[in-house]
Amino acid sequence: MTADEVERWRERFPILARCTYLINNSLGAMPDTVPASLRQFTDAWATEGVEAWAARWLPEVRRIADLVGSLIGAPPGTTVVHQNVATLASMVLSSLPLDAGRDRVVVTDLEWPGHRYLLSGYQRRHGLHVEVVPTDGVEVDAARLAAAIDERTLFVPISQVVYRSGAITDVATVCARAREVGAVTMVDGYHAAGHMLVDVGAIGCDFYVGGSVKWLCGGPGVSYLHVRPGTAHRFVPVEVGWLGHERPFAFSDAWETADGAMGWLGGTPSIPSVYAAREGYRIVAEVGPDRIRATSLALTARLVEGALERGASVRTPLDPGRRAGAVTIDLGPETEAASRRLIDAGIIVDYRAGAGIRVGAHFFNTLQECDALLDALRA
């Protein structure tokens, strides 16, 4: 994008007027249209009451599901939204056949801890064996992970981008191996969608999950699940909600799963969060993930090169093809204190123990902001 285009987009994110906001990999900046969108929700509640459910709110839930689906290359009607990924991952696990002679789950030591917490409960209750494939602490060796998947493997949850380092994982290779032996895959794209080109069809996963909090700039309260066409009929979650019923407003005593991905819709969604999230989705769709990715590569290159020039360690892949939008910088024992100095100076980042300072520049950030952070690292 040109400098003028970036400047115009910067006007759409109010927080940029008061600080250097470089932590979009943790909480994306809020678009300026969110307050007005939320007023549309409250106005409908105030004036239409319960009629707003059928007239506005549930149709909006379907619309934003397809909108976020379009950002990950999913066909219409194959994506649903929920309130968080933890619930969606639990629904996926609840759908798996635990009595089919498969008792292994394969993950890496860089997998999102929330997924591993969930698996530990299934370990205790159902006797699943969780094999943790070691990594170098920065990125996942997809071939090594794929080699650990065998005919006894039930489930493989894998993040497309490592949350600690911003490393991109070759999830398509992992999913291909899982298909060969009949294992189920769930790719977590929370740190990918919104600033990278994502094509769930090319990835070949059974399930793809993610949410609005980070690069999609949609705030908390909305996450999404894509169910691969042809997969929905194979897996019926035990953890269901009334909107996943084939005829939810019939209030039948008997459960009937809705067709396709709609059977995963769950319970009552957070409608205010839907109205907030759609504003971020719309902006990402308008800018385009391909243009966002091109801008991201320039920003991360400046951060990586600048950190190395200043004697810092970079715990993110140096190869731009293996690097997503976040860069993790390690200054040794002083890293945590340095992160606090940056925040106090109005340069907003975060710190992860054992990793370093995480910097997530988005398409509306500038090279000058990256330089300001680099200059302040050892100030």
Rounded Cα gap, residues 263 and 318, in angstroms: 42
CA-to-CA separations, 114 to 21, 25, 84, in angstroms, rounded? 26, 17, 11
Q: Give start-end residues of each CATH 3.90.1150.10 domain in the chain.
A: 3-30+288-376
Identify the pLDDT of residue 126: 86
**Residue ranges of E strands in the chain:** 20-21, 79-82, 104-108, 129-133, 153-159, 184-188, 207-211, 223-227, 313-314, 326-330, 347-348, 350-352, 356-360
Q: What tokens does 349 get?
A: 């980042």
Best CA proximity match to 13, nearest among 327, 367, 366:
366
CATH class of 39-284: alpha beta
Identify the pLDDT of residue 379: 64
Identify the pLDDT of residue 249: 87
What angle, 0 to 180 degrees and rounded to 10, lies between the N-to-C axes of helices 289-309 and 367-376?
30
Rounded Cα gap, residues 301 and 303, in angstroms: 5
Give the residue ranges of the chain where pLDDT is below 50: none
Q: Which residues pair with 131 in a beta bridge?
A: 106
Sheet harboring 79-82: ordered strands across?
79-82, 223-227, 207-211, 184-188, 153-159, 104-108, 129-133
Q: Tell me: domain 3-30+288-376, CATH 3.90.1150.10, correct? A: yes
- Cα-only R_g, the chain: 21
Q: Give start-end residues of each CATH 3.40.640.10 domain in the chain.
A: 39-284
CB atoms within 10 A of CB 284: 25
Identify the pLDDT of residue 234: 84
The DSSP secondary-structure symbol of 216 reads T
Identify the pLDDT of residue 180: 98
Best CA proximity match to 209, nearest among 330, 112, 275, 340:
112
Identify the pLDDT of residue 154: 96
